[in-house]
Chain A
Amino acid sequence: QVQLQQSGPGLVKPSQTLSLTCAISGDSVSSSTAAWTWIRQSPSRGLEWLGRTYYRSKWYNDYAVSVKSRLTINPDTSKNQFSLQLISVTPEDTAVYYCARHEDRSGRAFDYWGQGTLVTVSS
């Protein structure tokens, strides 16, 4: 059974960096059929795909255009986890952030999700 456990602060000041981690159990961040993704949810934008990291003989990353200049997603093979770093945050980045696994064998669907982290951007 795959489990994703999120950690990170729930309050970030404007202009600072939002950092979250997603620890994986039951699978490997280096899986050749999975991609490790960050999604956020807010009342104004609904469910919004932010980006992913995945390993197919080498590491790849993809990011949403809306956050591409500010977002970094990194794998950590030593701890079997992946992280999100979003720089220069504004109140518009306030949302519930989820990590999720996309599995090629399940139609690229997100079959496992983290518990979600409510991140508020406020001074």
Chain B
Amino acid sequence: DIVMTQTPLSLSVTPGQPASISCKSSQSLLYSDGKTYLSWYLQKPGQSPQLLIYDVSSRFSGVPDRFSGGGSGTDFTLKISRVEAEDVGVYYCMQALHLPRTFGQGTKLEIK
């Protein structure tokens, strides 16, 4: 199975300040079709996970543009340009290159 490793596991951010989460995969997520199957999710307290980013950097419908994704191969980053109170929750990366789909362990974002 592909192992997904996130850092940090938690971060506390002042509203209006940026935040960054790293995700590393145990093998390259680049497929022969030229796509890289890495996505990001936010699980708000008491809710189901919700899709933020797919294909490394494509924002899902309705996701604010303060969220951005980047990276390639095995190293990926989710950035929030200006954190807002509604961004609290646990962020997960996930690989969709191979079965089984695997998730990172999660990064908990809190507001200072």
A interface, CB within 8 angstroms of B: 37, 46-49, 62, 64-65, 98, 102, 106-111, 113-116
Contact = CB atoms under 8 A, between A and B. Distances in A.
B41 to A, nearest CB: 7
Contact of B54 (A107, A113, A114): A107
B71 to A, nearest CB: 14
A111 B60 contact: yes
Contacts of A46: 103, 105-106
B105 A107 contact: no
Interface residues of B, number: 22
B101 A49 contact: yes
B15 to A, nearest CB: 27
Contacts of A102: 96
B51 interface: yes
A37 B103 CA distance: 14
Given A46-B105, A107-B35, A109-B60, A65 B100 contact: yes
B100 A106 contact: no
Contacts of B94: 47, 109-110
A115 B50 CA distance: 11
Interface of B: 35, 37, 39, 41, 48-51, 54-55, 58, 60, 92, 94, 96, 99-103, 105-106
B100 A107 contact: no
A6 to B, nearest CB: 10
A106 B96 CA distance: 11
B92 A114 contact: no
A48 B55 CA distance: 20
Contacts of A49: 99-103
